[in-house]
């Protein structure tokens, strides 16, 4: 962990470790990499790794904090709700694809409580944004009134995350998702 007033050299080493860790996690997977390999890739001593990070999970969390940008789409109240939903889904796909570590984070979350909590919080934030949009759509009669909005938001974001995990995001058009969602939610 960096102290409150790090030197330029400390910032450079910290950044080099995060960059090396991300590169190695993506190339080889989280389980196959250790602190010594990350330090070597960053051209620092293994002890330097432990000066800044308690373990690989704390490095992963630091990379996540630095690199995962959760952008909320610009929502224009006059924009049709389906366009807002489409923009929200596209933004989520773009954010997750740019991050590049969703597979690593998901697998580590199965046994690391801190990573699991952070993943759950990020997922909850995404679902809440979408749930608010769906609530507006329901209130204006654009989607069915008998839909459980929390469940619908969860299902949609689960599909989006699964597409990224399965490397299908680039093969799936947002309009395909929109058509699926429309079929599920549109008034009968």
Say what percent of the chain tops pLDDT 70.
89
Q: Which of 123, 150, 125 is nearest to 135 (CA)?
A: 150
Burial 61-97 (b: 16+ CB within 10 A, else e): bbbbeeebeeeebeeeeeeebbebbbbbbbbbbebbe
Nearest 5 degrees, angle CA 141-CA 142-CA 146?
A: 65
43 dihedral zone (left: phi>0; alpha: psi -120 to 50; beta): left
* 11-64 pLDDT tens trace: 999 999 999 999 999 999 999 999 999 999 999 999 999 999 999 999 999 999
Query: What does CATH list as the number for 70-185?
Result: 1.10.357
Q: Could you give the angle at which helices 113-139 and 149-165 cross, rounded to 10 degrees? A: 130
Rounded average pLDDT over 165-179 = 67
Average the pLDDT over 169-183 and give the result.
70
- How is domain 8-66 classified at the architecture level of CATH? Orthogonal Bundle (1.10)
Q: Is the pLDDT of residue 170 over 70?
A: no
Q: What local confidence, expressed as pLDDT, does residue 186 receive?
A: 80
Judge if pTM exceeds 0.85: no
Q: Where are the domains of the chain?
A: 8-66, 70-185
Mean pLDDT along residues 129-154: 88
Residue 66: which of 99, 38, 88 has the closest Cα? 99
User: Where is pLDDT greater, at 71 or 20?
Assistant: 20
């Amino acid at each position: 962990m960096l102290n409150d007033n790090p030197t330029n050299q400390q910032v450079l080493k910290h950044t080099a470790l995060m960059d090396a860790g991300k590169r190695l996690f993506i190339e080889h997977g989280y389980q196959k990499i250790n602190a010594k390999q990350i330090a070597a890739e960053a051209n620092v001593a293994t002890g330097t790794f432990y000066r800044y990070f308690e373990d690989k999970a704390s490095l992963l969390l630091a990379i996540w904090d630095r690199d995962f940008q959760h952008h909320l789409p610009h929502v224009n109240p006059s924009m049709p709700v389906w366009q807002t939903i489409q923009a929200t889904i596209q933004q989520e796909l773009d954010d997750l694809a740019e991050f590049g570590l969703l597979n690593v984070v998901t697998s580590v979350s199965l046994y690391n409580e801190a990573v699991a909590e952070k993943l759950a919080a990020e997922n909850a934030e995404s679902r809440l944004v979408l749930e608010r949009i769906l609530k507006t759509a329901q209130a204006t009669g654009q989607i069915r009134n008998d839909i459980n909005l929390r469940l619908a938001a969860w299902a949609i974001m689960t599909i989006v995350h699964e597409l990224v995990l399965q490397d299908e995001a680039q093969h799936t058009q947002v309009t395909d998702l929109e058509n699926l969602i429309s079929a599920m939610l549109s008034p009968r």
